[in-house]
Structure 1
Amino acid sequence: MSGPEGPSATPVHPAVALALGAAGYVALVIFGLGMTSLVLDRDVIAVPGLGQVPGVIGTILSAIGFAGGVWPWLRATRPSYGGAGVSAVLAYLGYVAGIAIGGIFSGADAAAAFSAAGGVAVSWFGLVVAGAAGAAAWGALALVRTHAERPRWPWESEDDE
């Protein structure tokens, strides 16, 4: 049951898959960091006095890293799920760098900013960021890779369209 464009047509445009993947990534990372913080009874950024700026900048740079990591794979003729790993690494690095940059912009000294970034990099929080990016990238790649059609009820037929 291939469509009029043949079996090589992708049902989801790569830009749409990227937008859905990025939105899913941001939602997953916010949820994941919040739940990890709750379970561990620890702040994501354990250095006092930095405020929310490092977390916001970290999330923004992480989302940019996610998008930059998965976009070339989404545009490939036959996307590979290896792009999920690349995206996870770039999102992780973007989050850690964003915390360091955000810490400096929030008025803290460089030692406190890099301490906060290092604390996230070697904790469960860094793993949560990478895992959320990998899962969201895998979903975006799956949207482009699959050649599925829209869901249909059993009584629907192609003649009705």
Structure 2
Amino acid sequence: MSDLPRTTPPQEPNKVPTIVAVVLMIGTFFSVAIMGLGFLTLLTETDIIEVQGLGQAPGIIGMVAAILALTFLMLPTLRAARATFGAAMLATIVVPLAHLVVVWIVATVTGESIVDATVAARDLVLRGPSLILGLSALLVAGAAVMVRARGQQMRWPWEKHPES
């Protein structure tokens, strides 16, 4: 027998449960997006949707659509054994696009004309709210991947794993 102490193989670190990562991601995305949109309105002295007669429904339902898009896009990634940043990068495009499409649809239904809805959607793209939603989604989705992978070293696909 050897005099060297026995070492046990390293155990996999405890991961954050998927439901906790999803709830934190949703709450953080909503907070960061509202903060960013609030600063945008403060700095530009304009409303997010300035078209008269549309009301609050397009903005509220659009934000719900953005949250649902982020959740359904990131859920498979957060459930995976090894979370990656690919879905977080995709969220940068999908989340603001979902918001934009839903705002346009709701504005078409609640507004006076399709022109009002198109002007509202154009303003979301040209004045910066869509950019803020995309950056918020990237930040929060990336953070959710890092939280879910807690204790694991993030690696590029071409890096060799020490256990192989």
TM-score normalised by structure 2 residue count: 0.80
Q: Decide whether the 8 Å contact of 2:53 with 2:111 is kept in 1.
A: no
Question: Per-residue displacement from partner, 1:96-126 (whole Å, max 9, x unpaired)?
Answer: 0121122123233222112201220233111
Q: Aligned Cα RMSD in Å?
A: 1.7
| Shift of residue 10, structure 1, vs aligned partner | 4.0
Residue 95 of structure 1 aligns to which amino acid in structure 2?
A: H
- Aligned equivalents of 1:114 and 1:68: distance in 2? 27
Q: Alignment length, in residue pairs?
A: 143
Mapped pair 1:60 → 2:64: yes
Mapped pair 1:6 → 2:11: yes
Residue matched to 1:138: 142
Q: Quick one: which of 25, 28, 31 aligns to 1:24? A: 28
- Aligned equivalents of 1:129 and 1:52: distance in 2? 18
Q: Decide whether the 8 Å contact of 1:64 with 1:94 is kept in 2.
A: no
Residue 14 of structure 1 aligns to which amino acid in structure 2?
A: T
- Aligned equivalents of 1:69 and 1:111: distance in 2? 31
Question: Per-residue displacement from partner, 1:48-104 (whole Å, max 9, x unpaired)?
Answer: 221111100110101111112211211222111222111221211111012112212
Q: Residues 1-161 of structure 1 correspond to what in structure 2 (within 5 A)?
A: 6-7=11-12, 9-147=13-151
| Shift of residue 131, structure 1, vs aligned partner | 0.7
Residue matched to 1:156: none
- Aligned equivalents of 1:119 and 1:106: distance in 2? 17
TM-score normalised by structure 1 residue count: 0.81
- Aligned equivalents of 1:69 and 1:26: distance in 2? 16
After TM superposition, the runs of 4+ consecutive aligned structure 1 residues lying more than 4 A away are none
Structure 1 residue matching 2:23: 3-state secondary structure: helix
Residue 75 of structure 2 aligns to which amino acid in structure 1?
A: W
- Aligned equivalents of 1:21 and 1:143: distance in 2? 10
Structure 2 residue matching 1:63: 3-state secondary structure: helix
Structure 1 residue matching 2:111: 3-state secondary structure: coil
Identity, in percent, stands at 26
Structure 2: gaps of 5 or more residues: 1-9, 153-164
Q: Decide whether the 8 Å contact of 2:48 with 2:124 is kept in 1.
A: yes
Structure-2 change in CA distance of 1:125 and 1:6 (3 Å): same
Q: Decide whether the 8 Å contact of 1:10 with 1:144 is kept in 2.
A: no
Deviates more, 1:113-122 or 1:31-40: 113-122
Residue 49 of structure 1 aligns to which amino acid in structure 2?
A: G
- Aligned equivalents of 1:42 and 1:102: distance in 2? 21
